[in-house]
Amino acid sequence: MAHIGYVSLAEARTKRFADYSCGRLVGEICSFVVQQFSGFGGHLRGIGQVGIIGFGRLGSNAADQMKNSGAHNIMVYDRDPEKMIEAQQKEYNVQASRVEDIVERCNVILVGCDTAPLTPRMYDRMHDRTILATVTSPDDALDIQTLIHRGHIVREEEQPDGSIPITTYRTRQNHHIHLICDGNAPNLKYSAFGADDPTLAMPLILQATVGYEMARGHAISSERIGQLERQMMSHYLRIYQAVAAETEDYWHGRLR
């Protein structure tokens, strides 16, 4: 029997940077939508409850961004007791003991798990005008097309001017849910909303680099991945510092 060696990039340092940036990006987009969307009174304090399903790096960063934007009524659910204790220490509401508690109590829901925990029946239990977003990677998004095909939700409208990345669907209970980015994970496409962060692309660059080295027949180890990451981060930091210095020189010149 042949043995295939492999290394995982899931815990790569560049992945942690990207998780932070992606979580912050989703939090900013959700804050923007809630503040702009007419159904919620124009302020985060006006919503009933924000729910976070999954309190890993993505979910916790999104929660922190929402909290920094003024949402102080955030409920968290995670299957891992350690994550729930972490959420409790950060003073989030940890009364939810199952996903259904988030669905039934919250009207802004962020899914931050590797696999979407929302079953089709749960959409029928959502409040009218619930805002829903996923913080996960695109391949773990909410699979909206399957829900439509099976008749669980019906697409109604999309914001015509594109100023708010939101699409409205109707459930079988005639409730309306508003999907940010149409249920897909926000990424660099939505950098116009204030989070144009190149660290989001670092894991993709690392994957491409590792794939290139493997294609050339080079052995890949955790040590080699660490070396590649250090090179990437060094290049990124050097470019960032150069741009920051040029920007500072520009503004100093303007102010003279």
**What are the pLDDT digits (tens) for 128-187?**
888 888 876 544 457 777 888 888 899 887 665 555 677 889 999 999 888 887 776 655
Cβ atoms of 171 and 118 within 8 Å: the answer is no
93's CB contacts (< 8 A; 6+ apart) are 49, 73, 74, 75, 76
Q: Which residues of 2-13 are buried (b: 16+ CB within 10 A; e: fewer)?
A: eeeeeeeeeebb
pLDDT band at residue 47 under the 50/70/90 scheme: low
Residue 210, both tokens: 């590792």
pLDDT in tens, 10-44: 667 777 777 777 777 777 777 777 666 544 444 44
Residue 162, both tokens: 């594109």
Domains and CATH numbers, the chain: 13-193 (3.40.50.720), 198-255 (no CATH)
Cβ atoms of 58 and 19 within 8 Å: the answer is yes
* Closest listed residue to residue 79, CA positions, set 121, 114, 124: 114
Could you tell me if residue 129 is left (phi over 0), alpha (psi between -120 and 50 degrees) or otherwise beta? left
Residue bearing the bigger pLDDT, 141 or 218: 218
